[in-house]
Amino acid sequence: DTGVSQNPRHKITKRGQNVTFRCDPISEHNRLYWYRQTLGQGPEFLTYFQNEAQLEKSRLLSDRFSAERPKGSFSTLEIQRTEQGDSAMYLCASSRGGTEKLFFGSGTQLSVL
Amino acid sequence: GENVEQHPSTLSVQEGDSAVIKCTYSDSASNYFPWYKQELGKGPQLIIDIRSNVGEKKDQRIAVTLNKTAKHFSLHITETQPEDSAVYFCAAILNSNSGYALNFGKGTSLLVTP
Protein backbone atom coordinates (compact mmCIF):
# COMPACT_ATOMS: atom_id res chain seq x y z
CA ASP A 1 0.00 0.00 0.00
CA THR A 2 1.33 3.40 -0.94
CA GLY A 3 -1.03 5.17 1.42
CA VAL A 4 -3.65 7.84 0.84
CA SER A 5 -2.25 10.69 -1.22
CA GLN A 6 -3.59 14.25 -1.15
CA ASN A 7 -2.69 17.19 -3.35
CA PRO A 8 -1.84 19.93 -2.95
CA ARG A 9 -0.41 19.88 0.57
CA HIS A 10 -0.98 23.59 0.98
CA LYS A 11 -3.26 26.05 -0.77
CA ILE A 12 -3.47 29.78 -0.21
CA THR A 13 -6.31 31.60 -1.92
CA LYS A 14 -8.17 34.85 -1.78
CA ARG A 15 -11.71 35.07 -0.52
CA GLY A 16 -14.18 34.45 -3.29
CA GLN A 17 -11.93 32.18 -5.34
CA ASN A 18 -12.68 28.54 -6.12
CA VAL A 19 -10.33 25.77 -5.02
CA THR A 20 -10.14 22.06 -5.77
CA PHE A 21 -8.34 19.34 -3.84
CA ARG A 22 -7.54 15.83 -4.96
CA CYS A 23 -7.40 12.58 -3.02
CA ASP A 24 -6.00 9.27 -4.24
CA PRO A 25 -7.06 6.49 -1.87
CA ILE A 26 -5.26 3.25 -1.18
CA SER A 27 -5.78 1.03 -4.19
CA GLU A 28 -8.72 -1.35 -3.89
CA HIS A 29 -10.24 0.70 -1.07
CA ASN A 30 -13.78 1.26 -2.29
CA ARG A 31 -14.78 3.69 0.48
CA LEU A 32 -13.51 7.24 0.58
CA TYR A 33 -14.19 9.93 3.16
CA TRP A 34 -13.61 13.66 3.38
CA TYR A 35 -13.07 15.37 6.71
CA ARG A 36 -12.31 18.91 7.80
CA GLN A 37 -10.09 19.73 10.76
CA THR A 38 -9.62 23.14 12.35
CA LEU A 39 -6.91 24.04 14.83
CA GLY A 40 -7.35 22.34 18.18
CA GLN A 41 -10.28 20.21 17.03
CA GLY A 42 -10.79 16.66 15.91
CA PRO A 43 -11.58 15.86 12.28
CA GLU A 44 -15.20 16.51 11.33
CA PHE A 45 -16.98 14.28 8.82
CA LEU A 46 -18.02 15.94 5.56
CA THR A 47 -19.00 13.20 3.13
CA TYR A 48 -18.33 9.66 2.03
CA PHE A 49 -18.33 7.60 -1.15
CA GLN A 50 -18.75 3.95 -1.77
CA ASN A 51 -17.20 3.41 -5.17
CA GLU A 52 -18.49 6.33 -7.28
CA ALA A 53 -21.69 6.86 -5.26
CA GLN A 54 -21.81 9.68 -2.72
CA LEU A 55 -23.88 8.10 0.03
CA GLU A 56 -23.77 10.54 2.91
CA LYS A 57 -23.25 14.27 3.38
CA SER A 58 -22.83 16.12 6.62
CA ARG A 59 -24.78 19.28 7.31
CA LEU A 60 -21.31 20.91 7.40
CA LEU A 61 -21.14 20.46 3.63
CA SER A 62 -22.73 23.68 2.43
CA ASP A 63 -23.91 24.28 -1.13
CA ARG A 64 -20.54 25.81 -1.94
CA PHE A 65 -18.88 22.43 -1.43
CA SER A 66 -19.03 19.63 -3.95
CA ALA A 67 -17.25 16.30 -4.01
CA GLU A 68 -16.93 13.79 -6.79
CA ARG A 69 -15.46 10.38 -7.33
CA PRO A 70 -16.22 9.80 -10.99
CA LYS A 71 -14.61 6.42 -11.58
CA GLY A 72 -14.61 5.11 -8.06
CA SER A 73 -10.89 5.77 -7.67
CA PHE A 74 -9.61 9.29 -6.93
CA SER A 75 -11.88 12.00 -5.54
CA THR A 76 -11.99 15.78 -5.76
CA LEU A 77 -13.40 18.27 -3.31
CA GLU A 78 -14.24 21.71 -4.69
CA ILE A 79 -15.07 24.78 -2.66
CA GLN A 80 -16.66 27.64 -4.56
CA ARG A 81 -16.56 31.28 -3.48
CA THR A 82 -14.24 30.54 -0.58
CA GLU A 83 -14.74 32.31 2.73
CA GLN A 84 -12.27 32.88 5.55
CA GLY A 85 -14.18 30.36 7.63
CA ASP A 86 -13.24 27.68 5.12
CA SER A 87 -9.63 27.86 6.28
CA ALA A 88 -8.85 24.42 7.66
CA MET A 89 -7.07 21.15 7.01
CA TYR A 90 -9.04 18.98 4.59
CA LEU A 91 -8.38 15.32 5.18
CA CYS A 92 -9.19 12.35 3.01
CA ALA A 93 -9.44 8.79 4.28
CA SER A 94 -10.16 5.47 2.66
CA SER A 95 -11.19 2.02 3.80
CA ARG A 96 -11.78 -1.41 2.41
CA GLY A 97 -15.48 -2.18 2.12
CA GLY A 98 -16.90 -3.97 5.15
CA THR A 99 -14.11 -2.88 7.50
CA GLU A 100 -14.03 -0.02 9.97
CA LYS A 101 -10.33 0.85 9.72
CA LEU A 102 -9.91 4.28 8.14
CA PHE A 103 -6.54 5.32 6.73
CA PHE A 104 -5.92 9.03 6.40
CA GLY A 105 -3.82 11.09 4.05
CA SER A 106 -1.67 14.00 5.21
CA GLY A 107 -4.30 16.52 4.25
CA THR A 108 -4.51 19.77 2.32
CA GLN A 109 -4.07 22.89 4.42
CA LEU A 110 -6.28 25.66 3.05
CA SER A 111 -5.74 29.29 3.97
CA VAL A 112 -8.29 31.82 2.74
CA LEU A 113 -7.03 35.39 2.90
CA GLY B 1 -25.50 10.52 15.74
CA GLU B 2 -22.68 9.62 18.09
CA ASN B 3 -21.20 12.21 20.45
CA VAL B 4 -17.67 11.61 21.75
CA GLU B 5 -16.06 13.54 24.57
CA GLN B 6 -12.37 13.30 25.40
CA HIS B 7 -10.31 14.26 28.46
CA PRO B 8 -7.89 15.74 29.24
CA SER B 9 -7.22 18.21 26.47
CA THR B 10 -3.53 18.39 27.40
CA LEU B 11 -1.33 15.96 29.27
CA SER B 12 2.31 16.30 30.24
CA VAL B 13 4.27 13.33 31.60
CA GLN B 14 7.89 12.52 32.21
CA GLU B 15 9.60 9.96 30.06
CA GLY B 16 8.99 6.49 31.43
CA ASP B 17 5.72 7.38 33.14
CA SER B 18 2.30 6.17 32.02
CA ALA B 19 -0.31 8.28 30.25
CA VAL B 20 -4.08 7.71 30.30
CA ILE B 21 -6.62 9.40 28.03
CA LYS B 22 -10.34 8.90 28.54
CA CYS B 23 -13.34 9.15 26.24
CA THR B 24 -17.07 8.80 26.67
CA TYR B 25 -19.66 8.13 23.99
CA SER B 26 -23.39 8.61 23.82
CA ASP B 27 -24.82 5.89 21.57
CA SER B 28 -25.09 2.57 23.38
CA ALA B 29 -25.27 0.83 19.99
CA SER B 30 -21.73 1.95 19.07
CA ASN B 31 -19.47 -1.06 18.67
CA TYR B 32 -16.13 0.14 17.30
CA PHE B 33 -13.69 2.50 19.01
CA PRO B 34 -10.37 3.43 17.39
CA TRP B 35 -7.58 5.64 18.63
CA TYR B 36 -5.55 7.82 16.30
CA LYS B 37 -2.23 9.60 16.76
CA GLN B 38 -1.60 12.80 14.84
CA GLU B 39 1.82 14.39 14.55
CA LEU B 40 2.35 17.93 13.40
CA GLY B 41 1.67 18.37 9.69
CA LYS B 42 0.43 14.81 9.23
CA GLY B 43 -2.89 13.07 9.04
CA PRO B 44 -4.23 10.92 11.88
CA GLN B 45 -2.69 7.46 12.11
CA LEU B 46 -4.61 4.50 13.53
CA ILE B 47 -2.69 3.09 16.51
CA ILE B 48 -5.15 0.72 18.13
CA ASP B 49 -8.85 -0.11 18.06
CA ILE B 50 -11.32 -2.15 20.03
CA ARG B 51 -14.71 -3.66 19.35
CA SER B 52 -17.53 -3.86 21.85
CA ASN B 53 -17.26 -7.61 22.33
CA VAL B 54 -13.82 -7.14 23.93
CA GLY B 55 -13.00 -5.38 27.20
CA GLU B 56 -9.29 -4.77 26.68
CA LYS B 57 -6.72 -4.93 23.92
CA LYS B 58 -2.95 -4.50 24.09
CA ASP B 59 -0.27 -3.80 21.54
CA GLN B 60 3.18 -3.51 23.11
CA ARG B 61 3.15 -0.30 25.19
CA ILE B 62 -0.36 0.70 24.16
CA ALA B 63 -3.62 -0.65 25.55
CA VAL B 64 -7.26 0.29 25.23
CA THR B 65 -10.00 -0.59 27.71
CA LEU B 66 -13.73 -0.43 27.15
CA ASN B 67 -16.55 -0.20 29.67
CA LYS B 68 -19.79 -0.65 27.74
CA THR B 69 -22.01 -0.16 30.76
CA ALA B 70 -20.50 3.21 31.55
CA LYS B 71 -20.00 4.02 27.85
CA HIS B 72 -16.39 4.99 28.17
CA PHE B 73 -13.08 3.79 26.80
CA SER B 74 -9.50 4.70 27.60
CA LEU B 75 -6.07 4.69 26.01
CA HIS B 76 -3.14 3.66 28.17
CA ILE B 77 0.46 4.27 27.14
CA THR B 78 3.13 2.78 29.36
CA GLU B 79 6.84 3.59 29.51
CA THR B 80 6.28 6.77 27.54
CA GLN B 81 8.99 8.04 25.21
CA PRO B 82 9.51 11.51 23.71
CA GLU B 83 8.37 10.19 20.32
CA ASP B 84 4.96 9.50 21.87
CA SER B 85 4.44 13.27 21.97
CA ALA B 86 1.55 14.02 19.63
CA VAL B 87 -2.18 14.69 19.61
CA TYR B 88 -4.32 11.63 20.29
CA PHE B 89 -7.93 11.29 19.18
CA CYS B 90 -10.56 8.79 20.20
CA ALA B 91 -13.45 8.08 17.88
CA ALA B 92 -16.63 6.10 17.44
CA ILE B 93 -18.76 5.23 14.45
CA LEU B 94 -20.79 8.30 13.50
CA ASN B 95 -24.04 6.56 12.63
CA SER B 96 -25.23 3.56 10.68
CA ASN B 97 -25.81 5.58 7.49
CA SER B 98 -22.30 6.91 7.12
CA GLY B 99 -20.46 3.77 6.10
CA TYR B 100 -18.24 3.55 9.17
CA ALA B 101 -17.42 7.26 9.11
CA LEU B 102 -16.02 8.24 12.46
CA ASN B 103 -16.92 10.93 14.95
CA PHE B 104 -13.80 12.16 16.74
CA GLY B 105 -13.16 13.62 20.15
CA LYS B 106 -11.44 16.98 20.38
CA GLY B 107 -8.05 15.46 21.02
CA THR B 108 -5.46 15.24 23.77
CA SER B 109 -2.11 16.90 23.27
CA LEU B 110 0.44 14.63 24.96
CA LEU B 111 3.87 15.96 25.81
CA VAL B 112 6.53 13.54 27.04
CA THR B 113 9.47 15.35 28.56
CA PRO B 114 12.90 13.67 28.79
Q: Determine how many CB atoms are found less than 10 A away from the CB of residue B51.
A: 12
- Residues A72-98: tens digit of each pLDDT: 899 999 999 999 999 999 999 999 887
Interface test with B, best of A54, A56, A102, A103 (most B CBs within 10 A): A102
- The whole-number pLDDT of residue A72 equals 86
CA-wise closest residue to A49 among A29, A64, A22: A29
Q: Is B102 on the interface with A (CB under 8 A)?
A: yes
Question: Any idea how long chain A is?
Answer: 113
- The whole-number pLDDT of residue B85 equals 98
Mean pLDDT in runs of 10 for chain A (113 residues)?
90 98 94 95 94 90 94 94 97 89 96 97
> Residue type for A94, please?
S
Q: Which residue of B32, B46, B106 is in closest CB contact with A42?
A: B106
A36 within 8 A of A60, measured Cβ to Cβ: yes
